[in-house]
Amino acid sequence: MNLSKSFAPEKPSADAQLSALIFAIVLIDGEGRIADVNQSAEDLLKTSAKRLTGQLASDVLKIHDARVLAHLNQAEEALVARDISLLVDEEEKRINLTISPILAHSGWRSITISDIGRNDLNDPAQDDLGNLGAPSILAHEIKNPLAAIRGAGQLAERKLAPEDKGLARMITAEVDRIARLIDRMQQLGSTIQDKPEACNLHEAIRSAIATVRAAGPDIEIKEEFDPSLPPVLANLDALEQVLINLISNARDACSDEESPYITVRTRFVSGLVLSAIKIGGSVKLPIEICISDNGKGVDPALRDHVFEPFVTSKKSGQGLGLALVRKLVRDMAGRIGYDRDDRAGLTNFRIHLPQAHGEVDA
């Protein structure tokens, strides 16, 4: 009797493997109709599998590239297309797409779609933060000579004539600024994650709002909370840091408006599921936090890159705030996205987090 074999874990079924993929999978039959989709495809296309099944793929996949559309009607040809446009609910998404003929079944094809646009899908292949590992190591080596330069600047300030002390103070201030930048880079490159716990979401939000208000300037912050929400599974300190960053950014974005305001809204969203490789399966993300402001919004040229490091529209910004926010949300198995509602004149940042199964104090 082979004991090692008898105690081996059961291999996941093909359906379980497909449902856990972070890529959208669309199965097309010989007539060009959708035969099946996985959970990621439902999320991407914002339509249930039941409604998608039976529809022509060319009607559902609203792709602007004529060459890709032509391949949808050529059942025996494979295709790899990168950075193309897909229209979903009148919103343009940038995607990578593959079409793979299923050779044993004439006319049948498998289509994979990955969103490379502004929404965070926890795709390690798209994780530009992974490239910050080397700079994080380098940062440690940079901070040692910086400390020496700062000490020399302070010593020089004590010995210089009064009219020259300003230059020494400038050296010290610039060293401090560089050190803060390096600290943030090290945070981005960190792989240390605190274990998520059950958290009172509204308590974290109110704490973050109080911190932002204390820093000023005073701007109206509206609270639209669903009091029936269950606890979220998160790291409380990280969640508060995320909220402080987003609310502070919203305050800065709308501060020049005649009547600036920020709205922090919470709600329960059923049906949103995220497939996460590092967790090993699908994670339901039913708790949404939406932070909106009535500012002019992000420069359209930057909207698809707002969560990338060193991308910023602020004159004095370093472009690391939203990159750090995304990393912290990912570490909690969550998802963050950005959208602009031009009709309402609102910029929205939406966080989706998993529900905790324990209880916390209200």
Kindly state the average pLDDT of the residues 328-353: 90
Write the CA distances from 249 to 81, 212, 235, integer angstroms: 35, 10, 21
- CB crowding 117-136: b at 16 or more within 10 Å, else e: bbbbbbeeeeeebeebeeeb
Q: Does 29 share its domain with 61?
A: yes
Contact 293, 340 (CB under 8 A): no
Contact 326, 320 (CB under 8 A): no
- Among positive and negative, which fits the CA dihedral 254, 258, 264, 265? negative
Contact 230, 356 (CB under 8 A): yes
Q: Does 205 share its domain with 332?
A: yes
Contact 297, 340 (CB under 8 A): yes
Q: Does 291 share its domain with 325?
A: yes
Q: Which residue from 71, 25, 31 is spatially nearest to 45, judged by alpha carbons?
A: 25
In a domain, 359, yes or no: no
In a domain, 259, yes or no: yes
Q: Does 41 share its domain with 72?
A: yes
Q: Does 224 share its domain with 309?
A: yes
What are the φ/ψ torsions at residue 145 (nearest 5 degrees)? -65, -25
Q: Does 93 share its domain with 235?
A: no
Rg value, the chain, Cα: 25
Q: Does 174 share its domain with 202?
A: no
CB-count burial class (<10 Å; 0-12, 13-18, 19+) for 102: middle
In a domain, 65, yes or no: yes
Domain boundary, last residue among 171, 189, 207: 189
Q: Does residue 152 have a pLDDT over 70?
A: yes
User: Rounded to the nearest 5 degrees, what angle is found at the Cα of 37, between the Cα atoms of 31 and 40?
Assistant: 145
Residues 241-287 have pLDDT tens digits of: 899 889 999 999 998 899 999 999 999 987 666 644 444 456 788 99
Domain of residue 20: give its range.
3-117
Task: Give the CATH number, domain containing residue 307.
Answer: 3.30.565.10
In a domain, 37, yes or no: yes
More confident residue, 120 or 171: 171
Q: Does residue 128 have a pLDDT over 70?
A: no
Q: Does 204 share its domain with 155?
A: no
Residues 5-35 have pLDDT tens digits of: 444 567 777 677 777 777 888 999 988 899 9
Q: Does 39 share its domain with 176?
A: no
Q: Does 62 share its domain with 143?
A: no
What's the pLDDT band for 301 if we cut at 50, 70, 90? confident
In a domain, 123, yes or no: no
In a domain, 312, yes or no: yes
Q: Does 271 share its domain with 244?
A: yes
Q: Does 172 share its domain with 316?
A: no
> In the structure encoding, which two tokens stand for residue 199, read together?
């958290």
What's the number of domains the chain is made of? 3
Task: Give the CATH number, domain containing residue 63.
Answer: 3.30.450.20
Domain boundary, last residue among 145, 162, 189: 189
Helix axes 165-189, 133-159, angle to 10 degrees: 160
Residues 183-195 have pLDDT tens digits of: 656 655 555 556 7
DSSP string covering 34-83, please? EEEE-HHHHHHHTS-HHHHTTSBHHHHSEE--HHHHHHHT-TT--EEEEE
Domain boundary, last residue among 138, 169, 189: 189
